[in-house]
Amino acid sequence: MLIQAHRKLGVINADIDGWTEQVREHIENGNNFFLMMRKDAESAKNFCRLFSLPDDCKPRALTQAEFFLMSQFVEADAFDSILHHWDDKH
């Protein structure tokens, strides 16, 4: 018998201390998640290093339209947090 448990997507805020440990924990557990980070060169470089990518990699940001299409799969608190922080800097 095969049982699938579906979890909604959570969010990790890269502005909070310890976010890299949270990312590693999610990866080790095989959990998908949203990573909310600043739109600046240093944040992008940290992202690239965390995922063992070249320093000049370009993280792909979701558009609001793409995010809304996924909303049924997002935890309510994560959804609210992402929308609250969605601005020109994140």
First-to-last C-alpha distance (Å) of the chain: 43
pLDDT score for 5 = 60
The answer to whether residues 9 and 34 touch, using CB atoms and an 8 Å cutoff, is: yes
**What is the pLDDT confidence band of residue 89, given thresholds at 50, 70 and 90?**
confident
Domain ranges of the chain: 10-85
Bridge partners of 41, per DSSP, are none
Bridge partners of 15, per DSSP, are none
pLDDT score for 1 = 58
Cα distance between residue 28 and residue 86, in whole Å: 27
pLDDT score for 36 = 93
DSSP 18: T
| pLDDT tens readout for residues 39-88 | 888 888 888 998 889 988 988 889 999 999 999 999 999 999 999 999 88
